[in-house]
């Protein structure tokens, strides 16, 4: 055997052992990676794309400033909600991608994240008798409560003057949930004037222009207050929203994909079964049709599988259902190069070459066909990756990425592992029938 | 010797018979577009007891979704497709179904796409297909640059590809109105994968023709092509067969969510075998000889 082949053998053995150590056991900690990284469709969760209506922004701010502010507020809200490993990204000009892996209360999370949550205090317009003015339907007419701030300017009292420490408390006696808040210095100055002016009158607390509660002011208050009239979940969401601050512009969901975790678990089980059956079918076919060469292809396939899993685990590649399918399909494609080589080798044997020469010639001549056929698959993968990326279809992206990795790796294993194993094999086993031609 | 090249007109006829019904279906019925191309909501509902499809349909129309399309999956869940709905409407549907059908309902997956996004996705899909085609033509022309007329080879390979794509598109247009098959971004993914993969076999055959031309197997180009096809036929079938085996395994045992996608792949790969062997090679001869067939010169 040539020295270069011995070095190659050592290299492949080390690579194989390293990858084997990395993936067995799959859940074992290797350089901080445990198990495979699963996409939303496999472990459940939500994939949301929001679009911000930047035309409604404060004209003194640029779109970038507004988006940055919205993004950081959403981050605070998601973190406060307790989602593990969320992904929050700006997409394009005015879109925000939010991924909530493993989240079960998706509808609650959606309401929490996307709401502007602008808190505004409003007061009544007293008529001649001091009673609130009402419209023809008998509803109270509200107007924004204003007061003079420390700088002498007249200001509306809104949630922007709150300290970020609002919390849910239970009202003593009734146990009804309330959101307790505190004003900052400026807010306290405003609130004091407004409560003084509205003593024994209702004060309307509005969230996004909807009346939440209208308590009657019983005393002049300066620093703090409570919001009543909400249920427990609403109170929790409101506290988080008040602490993160209201969003600068309204958001709308334009793309949503949510998957229940049970479906994901079922998909994983089915994929494993399907993958195993597919692998067995391919191995059976290869061994029955190509005999000894088929055994070598099987060995190469196992090495391929171990390295592929190691790449998936260590990079890590986020696996989606389509991604796993691509992995399985790539097994079918991975043996293609082997088939081309074995067929070529058979021809060389029939033409009267020795086993060793046939292996060499087989690889050399099959190479062009292998290269040409894989490049076109690469082109498809790259275009698909772009396509999936532009509108955030993680499914398409996952498929393209996994297929690309699979096909690249299969080229590597075909031209190194299969070749080397075949070279060694013909040194030991000289029966020509085993390599597919008449003895 | 099996003669494929001189029977090429028969194979072209078979191709026409495969393509024409599909094209007619595409013209008359078009495609049933998935929500990512036409906007709307798609959800999978799971009930804790057996529910009749007709009851579900009735409940949905009482809730104001009479136009919803409802399909039962092989696992007894329901795929419901309707216009774009928001969180509140979704909650109303869940509550309505719960009381109306007297069953616990779980939404296994839920996707909703707004019309604006759908428009972008459709546009990007067209761009993606166009880009992929152009790059593949360029690459094939490059791969055959040493042949006397590289674009003839590239063009023939691409026509064989389009042939594959047209047949698959036709089949799924027909399946659209017959079995509710939806064309979505996963279908586009399947198409591009098919295109990228099917060309492999054509490359293998053309590669062999190129080699046999150099070796001077015969002065007759048609004969060289025929010999090359026969020499490579087994490996073309075998390479596709391994992919068909794994796709079959996923189709039969894998998750419902990707069944349609895998079916598209499966059909594409099978049709790909046909067009590599019976169309791609004969097309090259067509360039030189036209439709007229004659006995091979020695």
Output the 3-class SS for chain B. Answer: CCCCHHHHHHHHHHHHHHHHHHHHHHHHCCCEECHHHHCEEEEEEEECCCCCHHHHHHHHHHCCCCCCEEEECCCCCEEEEECCCCHHHHHHHHHHHHHHHCCCEEEEEEEEECHHHHHHHHHHHHHHHHHHHHHHHHHHHHHCCCCCCHHHHHHHHHHHHHHHHHHHHHHHHHHHHHHCCEECHHHHHHHHHHHHHHHHHHHHHHHHHHHHHHHCCCCCHHHHHHHHHHHHHHHHHHHHHHHHHHHHHHHHHCCHHHHHHHHHHHHHHHHHHHHHHHHHHHHHHHHHHCCCCCCCCC
A281 touches chain B (CB under 8 A): yes
Domain CATH code at residue B58? 3.30.70.3400
- Per-residue pLDDT tens over the stretch A3-47: 888 888 999 999 999 999 988 887 878 887 888 888 888 888 888
Name the most confidently modeled range: A178-182, B136-140, B227-231: B227-231
- Is B139's CB within 8 Å of A399's CB? no
| Same-domain status, B218 and B262 | yes
**Residues paired with A213 in a beta bridge:** A205
Answer yes or no: is pLDDT of A178 > 70.
yes
Kindly list the residues from chain B whose CB atom is less than 8 angstroms away from the CB atom of residue A396: 185-186, 188-189
Q: How confident is the model at residue A397 (pLDDT cuts 50, 70, 90)?
A: confident
- Is A369's CB within 8 Å of B203's CB? yes
Name the region of A92 (left: φ>0; alpha: ψ -120 to 50; beta: rest).
Answer: left
How high is the pLDDT of residue A280?
92
Q: What are the boundaries of each domain within chain A?
A: 3-40+260-435
- Per-residue pLDDT tens over the stretch A218-259: 888 888 888 888 888 888 888 888 888 888 888 888 888 888
Kindly list the residues from chain B whose CB atom is less than 8 angstroms away from the CB atom of residue A343: 232, 234-235, 238
Kindly list the residues from chain B whose CB atom is less than 8 angstroms away from the CB atom of residue A383: 128, 131-132, 135, 192
Q: Structural domain of residue B175, as residue ranges?
A: 5-35+117-289
Answer yes or no: is pLDDT of B225 > 60.
yes
In a domain, B295, yes or no: no
Answer yes or no: is pLDDT of A393 > 70.
no
Q: How confident is the model at residue B218 (pLDDT cuts 50, 70, 90)?
A: confident
Terminal CA-CA length for chain A = 24
- The torsion angles phi and psi of A170, rounded to 5 degrees, stand at -100, 130
How high is the pLDDT of residue A14?
93
How high is the pLDDT of residue A149?
84
* Coil, helix or strand at residue A242: helix
Q: How confident is the model at residue B19 (pLDDT cuts 50, 70, 90)?
A: very high
Whether the pTM exceeds 0.90: the reply is no
Task: Taking residues B267-287, report their average pLDDT.
Answer: 90
Kindly list the residues from chain B whose CB atom is less than 8 angstroms away from the CB atom of residue A110: 87
A263 touches chain B (CB under 8 A): yes
Kindly list the residues from chain A whose CB atom is less than 8 angstroms away from the CB atom of residue B90: 107
DSSP-based helix, strand, coil % in chain A, nearest 5:
55, 20, 25
Percent of residues, chain A, with pLDDT higher than 90 = 8
Q: Which of A290, A336, A350 to mutate to test the interface with B (most CBs of B within 10 A)?
A: A336
Task: Taking residues B13-17, report their average pLDDT.
Answer: 91
| Same-domain status, B122 and B109 | no
- Per-residue pLDDT tens over the stretch B171-197: 999 998 888 888 888 888 888 888 888
Q: How confident is the model at residue A432 (pLDDT cuts 50, 70, 90)?
A: confident
A24 touches chain B (CB under 8 A): no
Q: How confident is the model at residue B298 (pLDDT cuts 50, 70, 90)?
A: low
How high is the pLDDT of residue A392?
57
CA-closest candidate to residue B110, choices B135, B142, B131, B81? B81
The first and second tokens of residue A140, run together, are 């109270």
- Per-residue pLDDT tens over the stretch A267-314: 888 888 998 999 999 999 999 998 888 899 999 989 999 999 999 888
- Is A274's CB within 8 Å of B238's CB? no
The first and second tokens of residue A268, run together, are 């994983």
Q: How confident is the model at residue A439 (pLDDT cuts 50, 70, 90)?
A: low
**How many interface pairs between A and B have CB atoms less than 8 angstroms apart?**
224
| Same-domain status, B44 and B130 | no
Of the partner residues A107, A274, A336, the one whose CB lies closest to the CB of residue B200 = A336
- Is B139's CB within 8 Å of A379's CB? yes
Distance CA A237, CA A168 (A): 9
Q: How confident is the model at residue B249 (pLDDT cuts 50, 70, 90)?
A: very high
Give how far B175 is from chain A: nearest CA, Å.
Answer: 22
Of the partner residues B239, B254, B261, the one whose CB lies closest to the CB of residue A339 = B239
Answer yes or no: is pLDDT of A389 > 90.
no
- Is A376's CB within 8 Å of B139's CB? yes
| Same-domain status, B163 and B56 | no
Of the partner residues B140, B196, B232, the one whose CB lies closest to the CB of residue A377 = B196
How high is the pLDDT of residue B287?
82
Distance CA B250, CA B264 (A): 12
How high is the pLDDT of residue A391?
63
How high is the pLDDT of residue A158?
87
Look-up: residue for tokens 């033509």?
A: B137
A351 touches chain B (CB under 8 A): no
Task: Taking residues B275-280, report their average pLDDT.
Answer: 90
Task: Taking residues A198-204, report their average pLDDT.
Answer: 87
Task: Taking residues B286-297, report their average pLDDT.
Answer: 73
Answer yes or no: is pLDDT of A85 > 90.
no
Look-up: residue for tokens 């459940």?
A: A44
Domain CATH code at residue B198? 1.20.1640.10
How high is the pLDDT of residue B273?
92
| Same-domain status, B95 and B126 | no
* A323 close to A41: Cβ distance less than 8 angstroms: no
In a domain, B169, yes or no: yes
- Mark which of B113, B137, B163 sits at the end of a domain: B113
Distance CA B166, CA B168 (A): 5
Count up the domains in chain B and report the number. 2
CATH architecture of A3-40+260-435: Up-down Bundle (1.20)
Question: Across chain A, what does the average pLDDT equal?
Answer: 86
Task: Taking residues B117-127, report their average pLDDT.
Answer: 82
Percent of residues, chain B, with pLDDT higher than 70 = 98
| Same-domain status, B121 and B145 | yes
How high is the pLDDT of residue B195?
82
In a domain, B297, yes or no: no
**Structure-derived torsion over alpha carbons of residues B235, B241, B242, B248, reported in degrees to the nearest 10:** 170
Segment 154-213 of chain A within 8 Å of chain B by CB: none
Give how far A165 is from chain B: nearest CA, Å.
Answer: 28
Report the helix count and the strand count for chain A, using DSSP H and E: 12, 13
A311 touches chain B (CB under 8 A): no
- Per-residue pLDDT tens over the stretch B200-213: 888 889 888 988 98
Task: Taking residues B157-162, report their average pLDDT.
Answer: 85
Task: Taking residues B211-236, report their average pLDDT.
Answer: 89
How high is the pLDDT of residue B25?
93
Give how far B214 is from chain A: nearest CA, Å.
Answer: 14
| Same-domain status, B93 and B224 | no
* A11 close to A3: Cβ distance less than 8 angstroms: no
In a domain, B45, yes or no: yes
How high is the pLDDT of residue B274?
92
Give CA B281 to chain center in angstroms: 22
How high is the pLDDT of residue A385?
86
Give CA A111 to chain center in angstroms: 19
Q: Which of B114, B250, B252 to mutate to test the interface with A (most CBs of A within 10 A)?
A: B250
Distance CA A96, CA A47 (A): 11
In a domain, B294, yes or no: no
Answer yes or no: is pLDDT of A128 > 80.
no
- Is B242's CB within 8 Å of A335's CB? yes
Residue in chain B lying closest to A264 (CA): B108
Kindly list the residues from chain B whose CB atom is less than 8 angstroms away from the CB atom of residue A267: 255, 257
Q: CB under 8 Å, gap of 24 or more: what pairs does B271-274 form? A: B271/B18, B271/B164, B271/B167, B271/B168, B271/B198, B272/B164, B272/B194, B272/B197, B272/B198, B272/B201, B272/B240, B273/B201, B273/B236, B273/B237, B273/B240
């Amino acid at each position: 055997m040539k020295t270069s082949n011995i070095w190659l053998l050592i290299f492949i053995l080390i690579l194989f052992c390293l990858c084997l150590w990395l993936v067995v056991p799959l859940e074992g900690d290797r350089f901080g990676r445990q198990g495979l990284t699963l996409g939303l469709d496999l472990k459940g969760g939500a994939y949301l794309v929001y679009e911000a209506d930047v035309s409604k922004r404060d004209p003194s701010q640029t779109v970038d400033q507004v988006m940055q502010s919205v993004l950081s507020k959403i981050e605070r809200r998601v973190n406060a909600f307790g989602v593990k490993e969320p992904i929050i990204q700006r997409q394009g000009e005015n879109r925000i991608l939010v991924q909530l892996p493993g989240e079960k209360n998706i509808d609650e999370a959606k309401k929490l994240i996307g709401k502007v949550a602008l808190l505004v205090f409003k007061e009544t317009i007293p008529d001649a008798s001091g009673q609130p003015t009402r419209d023809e339907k008998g509803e109270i007419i509200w107007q924004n409560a204003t007061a003079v701030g420390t700088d002498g300017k007249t200001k509306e009292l809104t949630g922007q003057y709150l300290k970020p420490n609002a919390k849910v408390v239970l009202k003593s006696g009734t146990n009804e949930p309330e959101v307790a808040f505190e004003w900052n210095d400026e807010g306290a100055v405003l609130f004091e004037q407004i409560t003084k002016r509205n003593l024994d009158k209702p004060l309307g607390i509005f969230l996004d222009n909807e009346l939440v509660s209208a308590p009657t002011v019983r005393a002049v208050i300066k620093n703090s207050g409570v919001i009543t009239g909400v249920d427990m979940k609403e109170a929790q969401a409101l506290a988080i929203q008040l602490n993160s601050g209201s969003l600068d512009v309204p958001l709308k969901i334009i793309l949503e994909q949510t998957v229940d975790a049970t479906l994901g678990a079922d998909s994983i089980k089915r994929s494993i079964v399907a993958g195993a059956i597919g692998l067995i079918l391919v191995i059976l076919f290869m061994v029955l049709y190509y005999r000894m060469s088929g055994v070598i292809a099987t060995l190469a396939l196992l090495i391929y599988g171990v390295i592929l899993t190691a790449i998936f685990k260590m990079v890590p590649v986020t696996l989606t259902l389509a991604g796993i399918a691509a992995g399985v399909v790539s097994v079918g494609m991975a043996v293609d190069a082997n088939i081309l080589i074995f067929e070529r080798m058979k021809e060389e044997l029939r033409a009267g070459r020795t086993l060793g020469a046939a292996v060499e010639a087989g690889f050399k001549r099959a190479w062009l066909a292998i290269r040409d056929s894989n490049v076109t698959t690469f082109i498809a993968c790259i275009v698909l990756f772009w396509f999936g990326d532009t509108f955030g279809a993680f499914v398409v992206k996952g498929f393209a990425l996994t297929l690309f990795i699979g096909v690249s790796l299969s080229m590597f294993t075909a031209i190194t592992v299969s070749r080397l194993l075949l070279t060694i094999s013909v040194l030991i086993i000289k029966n020509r029938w085993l390599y597919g031609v008449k003895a | 010797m099996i003669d494929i090249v001189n029977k090429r007109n028969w194979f072209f006829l078979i191709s026409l018979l495969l393509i024409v019904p599909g094209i007619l279906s595409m013209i008359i019925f078009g495609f049933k577009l998935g929500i990512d191309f036409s906007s709307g909501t798609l959800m999978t509902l799971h009930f804790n007891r057996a529910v009749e499809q007709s009851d579900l349909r009735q409940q949905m129309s009482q809730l104001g979704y009479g136009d919803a399309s409802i399909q039962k999956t092989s696992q007894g869940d329901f795929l419901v497709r309707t216009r774009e709905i928001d969180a509140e409407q979704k909650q109303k549907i869940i509550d309505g179904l719960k009381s109306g059908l007297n069953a616990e309902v779980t939404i296994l997956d839920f996707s909703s796409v707004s019309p604006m996004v759908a428009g972008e996705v459709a546009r990007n899909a067209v761009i993606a297909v166009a880009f992929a085609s152009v790059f593949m033509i360029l690459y094939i022309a490059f791969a055959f640059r040493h042949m006397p007329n590289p674009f003839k080879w590239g063009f023939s390979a691409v026509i064989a590809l389009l042939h594959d794509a047209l047949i698959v598109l036709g089949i799924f247009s027909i399946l659209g109105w017959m079995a509710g098959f939806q064309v979505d971004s996963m279908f586009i993914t399947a198409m591009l994968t098919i295109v990228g993969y099917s060309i492999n076999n054509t490359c293998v055959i053309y590669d062999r023709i190129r080699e046999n031309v150099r070796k001077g197997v015969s002065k007759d180009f048609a004969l060289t092509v025929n010999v090359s096809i026969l020499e490579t036929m087994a490996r073309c079938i075998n390479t596709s067969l391994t992919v068909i085996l794994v796709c079959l395994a996923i189709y039969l045992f894998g998750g419902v969510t990707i069944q349609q996608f895998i079916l598209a792949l499966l059909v594409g790969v099978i049709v790909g075998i046909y067009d590599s062997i019976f169309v791609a090679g004969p097309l090259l001869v067509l360039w030189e000889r036209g439709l007229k067939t004659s006995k091979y010169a020695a």
